[in-house]
Amino acid sequence: MTIASTTQGICFLILSAAVVFGSLGVVLLPNIVYSAFLLGGVFLSVAGLYLMLNASFVAAAQVLVYVGAVNVLILFAIMLVNKKEAMADIPGLALRRLLSGGVCLGLFLLLLRVDLTTPWAVPGPSPIGDDATVRIGIHLFTDYLLPFELASVLLLMSMIGAIVLARRDVFSVDIVTGDDADQALIEKSRTPLLIETPPAEPTALETRR
């Protein structure tokens, strides 16, 4: 047992515990803001696991995309619409929770069975470390080109959709009701700070000249 392997074991235990309890917290906590922050913690722990597998590029990409973009956007959305509202009680909440808990448990058992019955090749192929960046690039532009391009088309579509939804001047009539949809920004009318004088007739000073 060398120092390196001991450190690795400890790190693996801490990271796995963070992933497991963090994701449980994401699902079970009643406060949605806590859930969102915990989700960021779970993403970071998963990045730590990637780092332990010597996949530093994947780890950094995980942090950049999931923590830096996805989680920040989730938080952003929550905080922009964070109204304190009393939710109406849903009928049969206990039964619903029981059912969804049962479904989750079933899925977990299924995964556990797959995990236990698959003959894993231990230890796996040796990690290639920093060369992984080059390898990923080569794969993305050769045998994984089609999925890569399809994903970018999907992103483009969602981007255009978001722009159409966000722009106010696209729809002049409401699609559902057919009424005029006045989507202009409602602004408070304000008195101008400078008194706007109409171009006045020549004043006494100018006529005298």
Partner 1 sequence: MMTAPESMTMLRSPLAAVSTGLDLQGSFTTAMEGFGLTPGTAHLLWLPLPMLLVLVAAVIGVLVNVWLERKISAAVQQRIGPEYAGALGVLQPLADGLKLLWKEDIIPAKADGLLFTLGPILVLIPVILSWLVIPFGQNMLISDVGIGVFLWIALSSIQPIGLLMSGYASNNKYSLLGGLRAAAQSISYEIPLALAVLAVVMMSNSLSTIDIVNQQNTAGILSWNIWRQPVGFLIFWICALAECERLPFDLPEAEEELVAGYQTEYSGMKFALFYLGSYINLVLSALLVAVLYLGGWGFPIPVEWLAGAIGQSVDAPVVQVITGSLGIVMTVLKAYLLVFIAILLRWTLPRVRIDQLLDLGWKFLLPIALVNLLVTAGLKLAFPAFFGG
The residues that touch partner 1, with contacts defined as CB under 8 A, are 2-5, 7-9, 11-12, 33, 37, 40, 44, 51-54, 56-57, 60-61, 63-64, 67-69, 71-73, 75-76, 79-80, 122-124, 126-127, 129-131, 133
Q: How far is the CB of 129 from partner 1 (least distance, A)?
A: 7
Q: How far is the CB of 100 from partner 1 (least distance, A)?
A: 28
Q: Which is nearer to partner 1, 81 or 175 (CB)?
A: 81
Q: Which is nearer to partner 1, 94 or 121 (CB)?
A: 121
Helices marked H in the chain: 3-28, 32-52, 56-62, 72-80, 93-117, 132-141, 145-166, 204-208
Q: Which is nearer to partner 1, 3 or 205 (CB)?
A: 3
Q: How far is the CB of 67 from partner 1 (least distance, A)?
A: 6
Q: How far is the CB of 7 from partner 1 (least distance, A)?
A: 5
Q: Please tell me the distance from the alpha carbon of residue 14 to that of residue 122, in angstroms, as a whole number.
A: 22
Q: Which is nearer to partner 1, 81 or 194 (CB)?
A: 81
Q: Which is nearer to partner 1, 105 or 164 (CB)?
A: 164
Greatest Cα-to-Cα distance within the chain, rounded to the nearest angstrom: 106
Q: Which is nearer to partner 1, 141 or 171 (CB)?
A: 141
Residue 180 sits at φ, ψ, to 5 deg, of -70, 125
**Residues 78, 33 contacting (CB under 8 angstroms):** yes
Q: In the block, which residue shows the tokens 């990409």?
A: 61
Question: Could you tell me which of 3, 76, 6, 9 has the C-alpha nearest to residue 36?
Answer: 76
In angstroms, the Cα distances linking 77 to 22, 40, 86 are 21, 15, 19
- Residues in a beta bridge with 173: 180
Q: Please report the sign of the dihedral spanned by the C-alpha atoms of residue 120, residue 121, residue 122, residue 124.
A: negative
Task: For residue 205, give the DSSP letter.
Answer: H
